[in-house]
Amino acid sequence: MTPHLPFTRPSIDEATIAGVAEVLRSGWITSGPQVKAFEAELSRLCGGRAVRSFNSGTAALEVGLRLAGVRAGDEVITTPLSWVATANVVLEVGARPVFVDVDPRTRNIDLERVEAAITPATRAIIPVDLAGLPVDRDRLYEIAERHRLRVLEDAAQSFGASWRGRTLGSFGDLVAFSFHANKNVTCAEGGAIVLPGPDLVPLCEKLRLQGVTRSGEDGMEVDVLGGKFNLTDVAARIGLGQLPRLAEFTARRRALARAYFERWDASLDCELPPQDFEDSNWHMFQVLLPQRVERARFIAAMREAGIGVGVHYPAMHLFSLYRALGWRAGDFPHAERVGRGIVTLPLFPAMTDADVARVCEAAARVLA
């Protein structure tokens, strides 16, 4: 019996495990020197811009909205095809998410439809780079500048990806990353935000931890309501062990994606992702099943064959929380169709080319 192949698995090396043990023995396990070092390394990767870490990508997004001045009554434009955190944070700050359908080819927000969704209440856009495929940053910022909108890039899945040769996070407005266990680089749980300027650092730090500012030996002041979003040194040490391997991870993911394209049987009638080997970090390799195939049966049959398959994601405007706010089936036909048929096939750096062949053969058998 061949071992079960999950759809993803983190690559944590022994040096990182030893480093975490050292942190645990050090007597300082929550935010401290490891967090500082992790943020410095992230800043270096983002062209020297100010970066602050969080205990999740969701927290980074929520603080990003607050830093952008998004408040009750504002509207925020985003995609219906993302992890639900993307829209939940908009509700969390009291604003209203306004969904715009996706481009069925990229599965990302269709920028050609964004301007029609802008109203006097629109304050920001949250683009999502689904599966690590970057949203067109030139067109995005052109629209944002013309309408004076803030941009909060949900780059949770696209850490290490780039746009026309520029690393995501090294340019743009606010950029949020996630270091959840399934992301390309992980802290187990964690996140970060890249700030458009260093002037936002003090407010960002206050919003991260109870609104507190310390001064001198004993000074403490609270002038704004902050959350409890700080990263621990234990988690930051995991991330510090991952960052030097980012280039290796991304290259391996690209090679595995190429192997999928080479081996996938085109006669199966599935829609494959765009073959972007320049910019995408290949966070996921997702195919759209033909409409005749029942997705749940495909997933069960693949599990029988020892292969894990994920679903990322159902269109979120159809969740009851969002239906209660007025969205209905039929509002975003492309996102709904993709959300119904999409599956995530195994893709992670420790996978072999033989694993890809095994997935392709099993899928061909199941779909036949």
Rounded Cα–Cα distance for residues 364 and 293 (Å): 12
91-150: contacts with ligand PLP (CB under 6 A)? 128
Q: Exactly one of 36, 183, 206, 228 is catalytic; which is it?
A: 183
52 binds ligand PLP (CB under 6 A): no
- Provide the minimum distance between the beta carbon of 177 and ligand PLP in the complex, in angstroms, as a whole number: 9
Give CA separation, 66 vs 9, 43, 99, 141, in Å.
33, 21, 20, 20
- Figure out which of the listed residues 137, 180, 253, 358 binds ligand PLP, where binding follows CB under 6 A: 180
Nearer CB in complex with ligand PLP: 56/250: 56
- Collapsing DSSP to helix, strand or coil, 24 comes out as helix
Rounded to 5 degrees, what are φ and ψ at 154?
-85, 90
78 binds ligand PLP (CB under 6 A): no
82 binds ligand PLP (CB under 6 A): yes
Which residues partner with 213 through β-bridges? Answer: 221
* CA angle (108, 269, 351) in 5-degree steps: 70
156 binds ligand PLP (CB under 6 A): yes
345 binds ligand PLP (CB under 6 A): no
- Provide the minimum distance between the beta carbon of 59 and ligand PLP in the complex, in angstroms, as a whole number: 7
281 binds ligand PLP (CB under 6 A): no
- Provide the minimum distance between the beta carbon of 18 and ligand PLP in the complex, in angstroms, as a whole number: 25
Beta strands in the chain, from DSSP E residues, in sequence order: 51-54, 75-78, 96-99, 122-126, 150-154, 162-163, 166-167, 174-178, 191-194, 212-215, 219-222, 285-288, 342-345
- Provide the minimum distance between the beta carbon of 192 and ligand PLP in the complex, in angstroms, as a whole number: 10
What does the per-residue mask of binding to ligand PLP show for 12-31, with x meaning CB under 6 A?
--------------------
The piece of 81-89, 139-147, 252-260, 301-309 that touches ligand PLP (CB under 6 A) is 81-89
What lies within 8 Å, CB to CB, of 225 at 6+ separation is 211
Residue 2 burial class via C-beta count within 10 angstroms: exposed 0-12, middle 13-18, buried 19 and up: exposed
Rounded Cα–Cα distance for residues 187 and 171 (Å): 24
Nearer CB in complex with ligand PLP: 191/346: 191
Rounded Cα–Cα distance for residues 216 and 218 (Å): 6
The piece of 153-161, 219-227, 233-241, 335-343 that touches ligand PLP (CB under 6 A) is 153-161
Nearer CB in complex with ligand PLP: 45/235: 235
Nearer CB in complex with ligand PLP: 49/183: 183
Q: Which residue has the tokens 């991870």?
A: 249
What lies within 8 Å, CB to CB, of 268 at 6+ separation is 290, 363, 364, 367
46 binds ligand PLP (CB under 6 A): no
191 binds ligand PLP (CB under 6 A): yes
184 binds ligand PLP (CB under 6 A): no
Is residue 29 within 8 Å of 233, Cβ to Cβ?
A: yes
- Provide the minimum distance between the beta carbon of 199 and ligand PLP in the complex, in angstroms, as a whole number: 26
Rounded Cα–Cα distance for residues 63 and 326 (Å): 26
280 binds ligand PLP (CB under 6 A): no
Is position 36 annotated as part of the catalytic site?
A: no
- Figure out which of the listed residues 16, 78, 106, 178 binds ligand PLP, where binding follows CB under 6 A: 178
Residue number of the CB atom closest to ligand PLP: 57
**Which residues does the annotation mark as catalytic?**
183
- Residues at the interface with ligand PLP (CB under 6 A): 56-58, 82-83, 85-86, 128, 154, 156-157, 178, 180, 191
